[in-house]
Amino acid sequence: MTTPQAAKQIVREFYEELDSASPESLAMVMNNHCSADLKWRGFHPFNEIIGAAEVVENFWLPLRRCLTRMQRRMDVFFAAENRFDEPGGTWVCSMGHLMGLFDRPWLGIRPTKKMAFLRYCAFHRIEDEMIVETAMFFDIPHLMLQAGLTPFPEQTAAQLVQPGPMTHDGLLFEPQPEAEGERTLSAIEAMITDLGQWDSGLSLEEELARTWHDDMIWWGPSGIGATYTIERYAKQHSGPFRAGFTERSKTNHICRMAEGHYGGFFGWPNFTAVPSGGFMGMPATDKAGEFRVIDIYRRDGDKLAENWIFIDLLHFWKQQGVDVLARTTGITGHEN
């Protein structure tokens, strides 16, 4: 098995070559660092793509042609062994923004000719010194809002270009003490246990205080927004979310891991739930929808302090019969 430090170096070299490559060289870079049958998972409308060449053709080339002079602005970077045996292995996590000049249409979103930020988070599984699996989640509604579009009704929390950790220590290029990663993973799993039952017998704020600092920050996706402190998180997201859904399934993650004070997970999907009406201004349905989510956490002491969340809201609402991307841009599919 590839060690976490070796896996970090593989991904750092991949990013360096990918980010500096010309559009014509992207396929070569992907072939050099990713397996030919790479399994790549992205948000709607990209979904699951098999093969490094197909990822270049369907995602990287169109994005690079539209978001020119692109820079990767990383805020979090860490690696660890997967908490789960299947698929197991060593994974590397990277989170931040892809920033560039929004010069051409992308997914039907009209360009602004100005700076634009695409929030992203990626998990890469490394095997035999190659990237064999990637989950790359990115906040398309965040880019839509920067372009002056309104994909969702007014959200309950704040719309921001989101910063990295308050402590500015999220780039874990060097190895971290194993015990710190274990503490972080334990804190995350305690939170998951509370979150998954939706009925702890405590008030929502009391429940959250078991695993979160009172001055927590929840950096949510566009359409929901960011919120600060347990009290406001309960009012501006967690409470409305629980009230807006029924029949939540059990949590299911593909990867869950931690290194140092940072950790996170993703699923495909993480869970399903049925809208009971009101959440994000949408009506009730009788359809269970999938939530594809990445969560990244910073631990402080024994509790969680910050949380960056990526939720594929376009995919969820499309399952409910509302194609937000097509409705907002007027274009079906993702032609560029």
pLDDT of residue 145: 95
pLDDT of residue 98: 98
Is the residue at 307 inside a domain? yes
Is the residue at 170 inside a domain? no
Of residues 201 and 251, more confidently modeled? 251
Does position 64 have pLDDT exceeding 70, yes or no?
yes
Give the distance from CA 246 to its chain's centroid. 23
Residues 188 and 140 grouped into a single domain: no
Residues 66 and 140 grouped into a single domain: yes
The answer to which of 43-57, 179-193, 240-254 has the lowest mean pLDDT is: 240-254
Over residues 73-96, the mean pLDDT reads: 97
What's the chain's average pLDDT?
95
Residues 130 and 34 grouped into a single domain: yes
pLDDT of residue 333: 54
Q: In what order do the strands lie in the sheet with 34-42?
A: 48-50, 34-42, 130-138, 115-127, 90-102, 67-81
Q: Quick one: DSSP state of residue 109?
A: B
Final residue belonging to a domain, choices 97, 128, 146? 146
Over residues 104-114, the mean pLDDT reads: 98
pLDDT of residue 336: 38
CA–CA distance, 201 with 101 (Å, rounded to integer): 50
Q: What share of the chain is helix, strand, coil (3-state, %, to 5)?
A: 30, 35, 35
Residues 228 and 188 grouped into a single domain: yes
Question: What range defines the domain where residue 65 resides?
Answer: 4-146
CA–CA distance, 118 with 59 (Å, rounded to integer): 13
Of residues 158 and 314, more confidently modeled? 314
Residues 217 and 129 grouped into a single domain: no
What's the CATH code of the domain at 95?
3.10.450.50
Residues 188 and 318 grouped into a single domain: yes
Residues 137 and 188 grouped into a single domain: no
| Closest residue by Cα to residue 335 from 48, 17, 23, 105 | 105
Residues 184 and 121 grouped into a single domain: no
Is the residue at 172 inside a domain? no
Residues 128 and 213 grouped into a single domain: no
**pTM for the complete prediction?**
0.95
The answer to which of 148-157, 203-212, 302-311 has the lowest mean pLDDT is: 148-157
Instruction: Grade residue 107 by pLDDT with cuts at 50, 70 and 90.
Output: very high
pLDDT of residue 332: 64
Is the residue at 209 inside a domain? yes
Number of domains in the chain: 2
Residues 196 and 100 grouped into a single domain: no
CA–CA distance, 114 with 130 (Å, rounded to integer): 35
Is the residue at 152 inside a domain? no
Over residues 75-84, the mean pLDDT reads: 98
CA–CA distance, 271 with 288 (Å, rounded to integer): 10
Final residue belonging to a domain, choices 127, 146, 165? 146
Does position 19 have pLDDT exceeding 80, yes or no?
yes
pLDDT of residue 286: 84
Residues 95 and 235 grouped into a single domain: no
Over residues 286-313, the mean pLDDT reads: 97
The answer to which of 55-64, 88-97, 243-252 has the lowest mean pLDDT is: 243-252
Backbone φ and ψ of 46, nearest 5°: -85, -45
Final residue belonging to a domain, choices 146, 167, 192? 146
Does position 335 have pLDDT exceeding 60, yes or no?
no
Over residues 79-107, the mean pLDDT reads: 97
Is the residue at 266 inside a domain? yes
Instruction: Grade residue 331 by pLDDT with cuts at 50, 70 and 90.
Output: confident
Of residues 158 and 316, more confidently modeled? 316
Is the residue at 254 inside a domain? yes
Is the residue at 301 inside a domain? yes
Residues above pLDDT 90, as percent of the chain: 89
Instruction: Grade residue 104 by pLDDT with cuts at 50, 70 and 90.
Output: very high
Residues 129 and 256 grouped into a single domain: no
